[in-house]
Amino acid sequence: MALITITGYPSSGKSRRAVQIKEHLDKHLQDSTYAGPSLKVSILSDELLNIETKAYNDSRSEKPARGALFTAMQRQMGQDTILIVDSLNYIKGFRYQMYCAARELKLRMCTVYVVATPELSKEWNEARQDGRTYAPETLANLIQRYEEPSSMDRWDSPLFTIPWTDDDVPADPIWQAVTAGNVKPPNTGT
Ligand code: ADP
């Protein structure tokens, strides 16, 4: 049905946003006004694939990690699923590849850019308690190499940019983007 690609710096809050998006989408799907097909919302992440943050320490280990993510994504994409891919997804060419795979299946797509400053990413990275802290030099390197998404590129579009200062995600526009508003209009009584 749809693919939602999350992108952003390491430890910028991507997983937190992925969960927020899933909660909103689940709520929409359970709403009595929803008239579309039965769908499930799934999150795919490095963590779920047991890809450790040290995989990003060098390109030799990063490549197979990206391959594993792509394979899992292809396996989980489908007409009955809204799949949220929660990973760095920082390479433009990789986002293009994901876009092509989704388009082949005629899935709807959007990109969510989770924005935090480099300083905050560093701070949150160091404070992590979940064993998913990136090595300081890896974090610096990934931030430096980060390829920012652009709404001008069709593979990043539509693009939703969420700054760290926002408490919540733009749930309704994301819902519209992935379902084309597959919802009955409210009964106005006219
Ligand atoms: P990512 O998926 O980008 O690696 P996470 O969502 O796992 O990031 O968050 C990384 C760490 O930063 C977590 O410990 C989380 O609690 C913290 N964090 C994320 N967003 C915020 C925020 N807006 N304010 C404070 N801490 C945050």
What is the whole-number distance in angstroms between the Cα of residue 168 and the centre of ligand 1?
13
Mean pLDDT across the stretch 149-169?
98
Position in ligand 1 atom list of the atom nearest CA 114? 3
Determine the pLDDT at residue 187: 52
Rounded to the nearest angstrom, the gap between the alpha carbon of residue 130 and the centroid of all alpha carbons in its chain is 20
Render pLDDT for 111-151 as a digit per residue (tens, 0 to 9): 999 999 999 999 999 999 999 999 999 999 999 999 999 99
Q: Is the pLDDT of residue 103 over 70?
A: yes
What pTM was computed for the model? 0.94
DSSP string for residues in 107-123: -EEEEEEEE--HHHHHH
Position in ligand 1 atom list of the atom nearest CA 129? 14
Q: Is the pLDDT of residue 181 over 70?
A: no
Q: Which helix (H) or strand (E) segment is 179 a member of?
A: helix 171-179
Render pLDDT for 40-85 as a digit per residue (tens, 0 to 9): 999 999 999 999 999 999 999 999 999 999 999 999 999 999 999 9
Mutate to test the pocket of ligand 1, among 16, 88, 112, 123 (most ligand atoms within 8 A of CB): 16
